[in-house]
């Protein structure tokens, strides 16, 4: 298998896994939280590289600590989740930069951890994405309904007798696992594109979670393949190319669906005028209601 073959396989696997989990991230209003987790995972990856331990183990362990840290911070009165996430995001990334710069001859590898290099992924990386993919599929097939219930009606979920903390931890740890396996290909900074954008694109086209998931997976795979293609043909950074394609896809979808709604005056996707002040999917995350 050549490097390009592996890159293509990685793009397909990561597009699938990212597309699947992105829908859950969007439904729970966790895009900003995911952005913070990707940045905060970065120092863990660097530490693992310095200590010479497995990159996945190091980054994963650190990421779990970050998840717990944010959850603990956001529970303190007077400290909103957004504040806690903002601090964790910048501090985590800064720690990674400091650690990297403290090592002589290490700084040139900075880009490998921040924006990734999909053309250098090995079979170990591919296996890791596949394993996490199985975990994501397992989570969705066992608890897909419950995840939607929890996202739609956090209070009602607890009232129905479910344990919110259990399903929240399962989701957040799975998100962290996807981040870790995305780092070698697209880097800690650009991983958020793989984990958030596909669902955001899909949400523009449909109001149904199942259809959303299908479109998100297609967008994820499509962006990945197009990115690898552009990258090898024009010799530009692959992580960047994938992310630019994803961004373009979102912009085009937004333009297309907005135009469509304006032209047809379709009421299908519109909400009643009285609800226009209601919170949209960009509102505060539901983390306040964890546990």
Partner 1 sequence: MNTATDPQVPPPALDLDEVSVAYGPAVALENIDGMVAPGEAVALIGPNGAGKSTLIKAILGLVPLAGGRITVLGRPPAAARRDVAYVPQADTLDPEFPISVGQVVLMGRYRRIGWLRRAKATDKEAARRALEQVGLADRARHRFGTLSGGQRQRVLLARAIAAEPRLLLLDEPFNGVDAVSEQALLDAIARLKQDGAAVVVSTHDLTLAHLACEEVCLLNRRQYGFGPTNATLTPHRLRATYGGHALELRGDRVIVAHS
Nearer to partner 1, 78 or 272 (CB): 272
Smallest separation (angstroms) from partner 1 to the CB of 211 = 9
Neighbours of 230 (CB within 10 A): 17
Q: Report yes or no: 229 and 118 within 8 Å, Cβ to Cβ.
A: no
Smallest separation (angstroms) from partner 1 to the CB of 266 = 12
Tally the residues of the chain. Answer: 291
Give Dmax (Cα) for the chain.
61
Q: Report yes or no: 164 and 178 within 8 Å, Cβ to Cβ.
A: no
Nearer to partner 1, 112 or 137 (CB): 137
What's the DSSP call for residue 283? S
Neighbours of 138 (CB within 10 A): 11
Smallest separation (angstroms) from partner 1 to the CB of 239 = 29
What's the DSSP call for residue 270? P
Smallest separation (angstroms) from partner 1 to the CB of 208 = 6
Give me the residues that bind partner 1 (CB under 8 A), please. 27, 141-143, 145-146, 148-149, 151-153, 155-156, 158-161, 203, 206-209, 212, 267, 270-272, 274-275, 278-281, 283
Nearer to partner 1, 1 or 274 (CB): 274
Smallest separation (angstroms) from partner 1 to the CB of 102 = 44
Q: Report yes or no: 209 and 11 within 8 Å, Cβ to Cβ.
A: no
Nearer to partner 1, 262 or 274 (CB): 274
Nearer to partner 1, 39 or 286 (CB): 286
Q: How many CA atoms lie within 13 A of 146 on its CB side?
A: 18
């Amino acid at each position: 298998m050549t490097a390009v073959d592996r890159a293509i396989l990685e793009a397909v696997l990561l597009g699938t896994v990212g597309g699947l989990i992105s829908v859950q991230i969007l439904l729970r209003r966790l895009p900003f939280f995911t952005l913070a987790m990707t940045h905060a995972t970065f120092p863990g990856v660097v530490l693992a590289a310095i200590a010479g331990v497995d990159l996945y183990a190091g980054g994963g362990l650190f990421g779990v600590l970050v998840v717990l840290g944010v959850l603990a911070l956001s529970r303190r009165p007077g400290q909103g989740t957004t504040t806690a996430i903002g601090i964790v995001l910048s501090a985590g990334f800064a720690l990674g930069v400091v650690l990297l710069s403290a090592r002589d001859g290490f700084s040139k590898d900075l880009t490998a951890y921040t924006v990734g290099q999909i053309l250098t992924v090995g079979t170990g990386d591919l296996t890791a994405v596949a394993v996490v993919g199985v975990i994501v599929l397992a989570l969705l097939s066992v608890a897909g309904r419950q995840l939607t219930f929890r996202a739609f009606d956090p209070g009602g979920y607890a009232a129905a007798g479910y344990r919110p903390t259990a399903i929240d931890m399962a989701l957040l740890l799975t998100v962290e696992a996807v981040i870790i396996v995305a780092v070698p290909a697209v880097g800690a900074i650009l991983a958020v594109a793989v984990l958030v954008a596909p669902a955001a694109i899909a949400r523009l086209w449909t109001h149904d979670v199942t259809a959303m998931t299908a479109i998100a997976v297609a967008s994820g795979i499509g962006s990945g393949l197009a990115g690898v293609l552009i990258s090898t043909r024009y010799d530009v950074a692959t992580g960047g190319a994938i992310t630019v394609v994803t961004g373009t896809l979102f912009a085009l979808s937004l333009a297309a669906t907005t135009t469509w709604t304006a032209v047809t005056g379709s009421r299908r996707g519109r909400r009643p005028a009285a609800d226009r002040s209601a919170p949209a999917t960009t509102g505060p995350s539901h983390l306040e209601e964890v546990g």
